[in-house]
Amino acid sequence: MPKHPDIAKNLYQRIVEQARKEAFYRRCGVPDTVDGRFESIALHCFLVLHRLKSEDEEGADLAQALFDVMFEDMDNNVREMGVGDVSVGAEVKRMARSLMGRVAAYDSALEINGEEAGKERLEAALDRNLYGSVKVEKAHLGKMADYMRREIGSLAIQPFSALLEGQCRFGSPPP
């Protein structure tokens, strides 16, 4: 039986609440579509997963539980959208691969040394993923790259004990 399922559900609820904030869609140009909302959830899930990877085995267990909760929710959402039972598994697997691709792209961009080079790489990853279905303004890319870096820093100083209680705090969306 997976460890931390209730904690992961609470964390996932915080992630979805943050990802659905209207400001991301109105002020930051995130497409208000099924794909755009998935991308926003994936981005916020990445932020928490990034924080959890700095912990020991318990952090890895919680990260796995969070991943499982997210894709259980995605499975339910795909079914509610009317995707046939035969296709649901394939669609959810595609979404899981998509999330893993985003995690790799965002991690890679954040590892770049140098403020400007790292920001450009992160903006390129956001352009391909978060904004992949639309033409995005450069200003929106910059806002979201700055937001991600700010949230990574904020989550880094939140105690692991709070995460183990299912709590994480996100800051306000970019202005």
pLDDT tens digit string along 19-31?
999 999 999 999 9
* Number of domains forming the structure of the chain: 1
Q: What six digits make up the tokens of 96?
A: 């899981």
pLDDT tens digit string along 58-95?
999 999 999 999 988 877 776 676 666 667 777 778 88
The answer to whether residue 53 sits within a structural domain is yes
The answer to whether residue 168 sits within a structural domain is no
Q: Quick count: other Cβ atoms within 10 Å of Cβ 88? A: 16
Q: Is 4 left (phi over 0), alpha (psi -120 to 50) or beta?
A: left
Closest CA to 125 of 156, 103, 93: 103
Structural domain for 25, as ranges? 5-163
pLDDT tens digit string along 93-140?
888 898 899 999 999 998 887 777 788 999 999 999 999 999 999 999
Q: What is the pTM of this model?
A: 0.91
The answer to whether residue 171 sits within a structural domain is no
Q: What six digits make up the tokens of 45?
A: 């899930």
The answer to whether residue 135 sits within a structural domain is yes
The answer to whether residue 10 sits within a structural domain is yes
The answer to whether residue 50 sits within a structural domain is yes
The answer to whether residue 169 sits within a structural domain is no
The answer to whether residue 23 sits within a structural domain is yes
Who's near 120: CB < 8 A, 6+ residues apart? none
